[in-house]
């Protein structure tokens, strides 16, 4: 049994014409990082909405096929149970802060407080997450005074403190500068190491190359390619579906035209090895 499974899923929102998902079949395992990629409007967020039950519980529309979490159809799940199982982090870090708390520590504690968890337990769990994510310098600051990147890290901590099994992260760095982006991804990597199942929508292909285990390429509501990150992001066919390959891969293809290149690299560390071998090969 797959952890998360879509079988022949088609979906049309109540408003708007035509299906936005068309016969989507996916099978996701526990503990992996899945990247959803594809052009704007291809259906990535809609897939996320389906996994977290917003479709069909909040967005009605026409849903065909089976959407299963741990073998149970999404229609049969209670939203409260799904909310405990999954955490959701979305694009805009400014809308995720509650606006009611004076410090970052209290902000991270907010969800546990709502669940009426006992105060000593809250303190312990919040302290643990702050330490894990390296947020100690921020813990006494006013959440409203934080930068976008700091807010996004606090949002991730607020979700992680609830200990969800699945994290759905929709373009978390779209409004952040490169340094803040890197810090957010360091935290996503910690979540990965903690064995969370992560579904990540992200346009920055270099980050996907670095952090995702599996890539799902969506085009016009259909899954057109999927596979191990290395296989998809080193395959030139990917560019036919509105997605750029990592710069290292594009350079790899150019270099291959001028000499033997055993492998198309997708990350910096792979590029260093592959290009070094290429230079040695040329000299021999
Ligand atoms: N609430 C809605 N009601 C009607 N149509 C919607 C709704 N949300 C999204 N759509 C439409 O569904 C299609 C898929 O949108 P979706 O947001 O899933 O794409 P996406 O790949 O996440 O895009 P982006 O990269 O821009 O976030 C688009 O044509 C969009 O206009």
Taking the mean position of all CA atoms in its chain, how far away is CA 26? 16
User: Cα angle vertex 281, ends 278, 284, to 5°?
Assistant: 155
Please state, in angstroms and rounded to a whole number, the distance separating the CA atoms of residues 217 and 39. Answer: 9
pLDDT at 122 > cutoff 80: yes
Return the residue whose CA atom lies nearest to atom 7 of ligand 1: 13
What distance in angstroms lies between residue 171's CA and the mean position of ligand 1's atoms? 14
* DSSP per-residue letters across 205-274: HHHHHHH-SEEEEEETTEEEEEEEHHHHHT-GGGGGGT-PPPHHHHHHHHHHHHS--S----SHHHHHHH
pLDDT of residue 56: 93
What distance in angstroms lies between residue 122's CA and the mean position of ligand 1's atoms? 37
Atom of ligand 1 nearest to the CA of 36: 21
Nearest to 128 by CA among 153, 160, 175, 106: 160
Atom of ligand 1 nearest to the CA of 47: 18
Pocket test for ligand 1, best of 17, 38, 45 (most atoms within 8 A of CB): 45
The 10s digit of each residue's pLDDT in 224-278 is 999 999 999 999 999 999 899 999 999 999 888 877 787 999 999 999 998 888 7
Pocket test for ligand 1, best of 9, 11, 14, 16 (most atoms within 8 A of CB): 16
State the distance between the two ends of the chain, measured CA to CA, in whole angstroms: 52
Tell me the whole-structure pTM to 2 decimals: 0.92
Computed over every residue of the chain, the mean pLDDT equals: 91
User: Which domains are delineated in the chain?
Assistant: 1-29+38-77+213-236 (3.40.50.300), 84-206 (3.40.50.300), 246-284 (no CATH)
58 lines ligand 1 (CB under 6 A): no
Please state, in angstroms and rounded to a whole number, the distance separating the CA atoms of residues 180 and 170. Answer: 16
Q: CA-CA distances (angstroms) from residue 12 to 19, 107, 119?
A: 4, 37, 44
143 lines ligand 1 (CB under 6 A): no
Average pLDDT in the 166-177 region? 88
pLDDT of residue 152: 87
Return the residue whose CA atom lies nearest to atom 1 of ligand 1: 13
Average pLDDT in the 47-58 region? 95
Q: What six digits make up the tokens of 145?
A: 């005074």
Any idea which of 92-96, 99-103, 135-139, 205-209 has the lowest mean pLDDT? 92-96
Average pLDDT in the 186-211 region? 93
Atom of ligand 1 nearest to the CA of 46: 18
The 10s digit of each residue's pLDDT in 26-37 is 999 999 999 999
Please tell me what DSSP assigns to residue 8: E
Residues above pLDDT 90, as percent of the chain: 71
pLDDT at 162 > cutoff 70: yes
Q: Is the CB of residue 252 less than 8 Å from the CB of residue 235?
A: no
258 lines ligand 1 (CB under 6 A): no
Average pLDDT in the 59-75 region? 95
pLDDT of residue 283: 59
The 10s digit of each residue's pLDDT in 87-112 is 998 777 666 777 788 899 999 999 99
| pLDDT band for position 282 (cuts 50, 70, 90) | low
The kind and range of the H/E element at 27 are strand 21-28
Atom of ligand 1 nearest to the CA of 203: 25
Return the residue whose CA atom lies nearest to atom 9 of ligand 1: 46
pLDDT of residue 268: 94
pLDDT of residue 99: 75
């Amino acid at each position: 049994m797959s952890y998360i499974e879509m079988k022949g899923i088609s979906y049309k929102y109540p408003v708007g014409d035509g299906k936005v998902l068309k016969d989507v079949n996916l099978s996701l395992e526990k503990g992996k990082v899945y990247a959803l990629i594809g052009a704007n409007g291809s259906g990535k967020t809609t897939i996320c909405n389906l996994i977290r039950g917003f479709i069909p519980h909040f967005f009605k529309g026409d849903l065909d096929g089976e959407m299963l979490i741990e073998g149970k159809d999404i229609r049969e799940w209670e939203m409260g149970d799904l909310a405990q199982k999954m955490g959701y982090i979305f694009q805009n870090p400014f809308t995720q802060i509650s606006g009611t708390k004076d410090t970052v520590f209290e902000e991270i504690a907010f969800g546990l407080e709502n669940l009426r968890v006992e105060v000593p337990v809250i303190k312990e769990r919040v302290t643990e997450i702050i330490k894990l994510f390296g947020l100690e310098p921020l813990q006494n600051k006013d959440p409203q005074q934080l930068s976008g990147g700091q807010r996004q890290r606090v949002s991730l901590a607020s979700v992680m403190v609830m200990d969800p099994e699945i994290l759905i992260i929709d373009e978390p760095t779209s409004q952040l500068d490169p340094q803040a982006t890197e810090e957010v991804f360091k935290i996503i990597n910690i979540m990965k190491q903690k064995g969370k199942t992560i579904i990540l929508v992200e346009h920055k292909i270099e980050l996907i190359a670095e952090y995702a285990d599996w890539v799902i390429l969506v085009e016009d509501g259909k899954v057109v390619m999927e596979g191990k990150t290395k296989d998809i992001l080193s395959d030139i066919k990917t560019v036919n579906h509105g997605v750029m390959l990592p710069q290292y891969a594009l350079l790899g293809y150019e270099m291959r035209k001028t000499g033997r290149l055993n492998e198309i690299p997708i990350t910096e560390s792979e590029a260093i090895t592959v290009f070094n071998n290429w230079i040695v090969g040329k000299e021999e």
